[in-house]
Structure 1
């Protein structure tokens, strides 16, 4: 019998507490009692086992809490149902593999199954690493640039008066004047020292080398679009303010510097592929039915004020630390990173900044 070795102490506690509980109505696969399910409706079945509307509502509520915009899309909502189906498949497979079970560690059992069947350490050869590096030089490009920043909203200690819109217009006008002076031949470093409101002003606006993933998207897009050393960008607006960017150098990161990140990402890709293949196999062997009419009625009511609206189907707001935009406010890049652009599923280290 397989055991959840990394969690033995926790599992033992769960086993003790579950054994000392008084008798209660029989539980179903989704953790609710038959009494609680009495008035629930079946949304789908996996090998004859039900997935209820309440299961979907709970999953929607948890997921939409952190990304409300995503779960306005029909495809994302359908993916939640697919997740419930896949979870039941994996749970049943875990039981079939005789992985030790208590109700409280049902999710641990699924993870144990995946560790046993899927999450082996994939082999990645040095040849594969070099092949990926050679095939995607744009992902390993670094540039060096300087910038002049004029903030687009007043700071708390700012002596400026007037409405924020007026302040923003004045800052834009000032930035456009500086850009005109640069195009007329004035020294970039000198104007950065005189006018930039970023901490890099004392260094003439120098940001040193950075990858695209290190900067907010509008800034990175404009900076990496510059072709020749010495080229100037037009005015670029980000959440930090108005930027003028000058390209000062360009290079490709050395293979030895980035091969560790490439290896981690290729291993992750191989694990994802193995995970998908395993689920595809389980689905092919399973009998899965979905009550499409009931599903359509359910999703139609999401956000429409219908009868499902009062059952925690609404997104629960924004501002969770995992959402985009909740980041450090410094424009200075820190550390090394592997740029990856929009390629999936290869990912580098998360950017220090994102917009």
Structure 2
């Protein structure tokens, strides 16, 4: 929980833009709310206090003890006193301040609209989840390869290693002894991968091999000369729906919010006083 700040620091850090969301609350503004107290006639409601506590504690207001809660209540009172003083001095008529107040109010309302829409889409249709799952993982089932390789600088050295392999030499032992690649210590083991992860000449040569076979000719890439051994192949595993369902639901909900915004934009009458400000797509 954030510690209670002295008033001077509160002015720098505690009063976020969230406190500029509207002018001083009126009776209409607080209708339906529980008024806890009034500061020179300005009401402080239970809802205002709850928002202040949540914001100042980063959502941990339940952990406040009585003294901490009282201190944050005093902060809220001080904030109202300063806001009233600013209005009395006519500071609320400053064009830049009024623009900031309007902007923050719109930001808060926009956030409320998004949250409301997200509540509407919280229970995403099961059929939509299944369809999205099928689309997202339609490439699953692609072939994966488990292979080893020996990387050397010269073609002649690679050819000599192939001849040793043809005579029965152990591939892993040769890789550990001769390969200049980072997989040398593991006997040239590259683990599981799809062909697209490898440079094209390597991938092409790999796909011509049967499991257990090694390349009969050196394979050149920008890294050097390779001798490749294919050990196994398998279909790329597909994640279970239950493992990815939360992410899919979140993506679908976000897309529905984006669709809602697109619909609002298409229905809106947006007029630019300065045509130069209009985006090209509009």
TM-score by length of 1: 0.40
More helix by share: 2
Q: Identify the structure with bigger relative contact order (alpha carbons < 8 Å, sequence gap 6+).
A: 1
